[in-house]
Amino acid sequence: MSLCGEPDKPEVKKHIEDLDSAWDNVTALYAKREENLIDAMEKAMEFHETLQVMIMIVIESSYVINACYQQL
């Protein structure tokens, strides 16, 4: 602030306040996106685990069905 003249100080101060406000918005948006990405990753991992269990159930069921048909 000491580098600008006295008449320009209010305008410079206003620009600094605007910049601070914009920066706060950017950091808040970043934090929200990071939270959303972590949540999405957790859901994707849960889906993957559930899918693996379902695949195993289908495989095991196919073995049981094949064994039943072979006994006929």
Give pLDDT tens digits for 36-51: 999 999 999 999 999 9
Give a yes or no: residue 27 inside a domain.
yes
Give a yes or no: residue 16 inside a domain.
yes
Structural domain of 34: 6-71
* CA end-to-end distance (rounded Å), the chain: 92
> For the chain, what is the domain count?
1
Give a yes or no: residue 46 inside a domain.
yes
Give a yes or no: residue 26 inside a domain.
yes
pLDDT of residue 2: 67
Report the alpha-carbon distance of residue 45 to residue 58 in Å, rounded. 20
pLDDT of residue 23: 98
Q: Give 19-33 pLDDT, tens digit per residue.
A: 999 999 999 999 999
Give a yes or no: residue 20 inside a domain.
yes
Give a yes or no: residue 1 inside a domain.
no
pLDDT of residue 8: 80
pLDDT band at 1 (very low <50, low <70, confident <90, very high): low
Give the residue with greater pLDDT, 1 vs 60: 60
Report the alpha-carbon distance of residue 72 to residue 68 in Å, rounded. 7
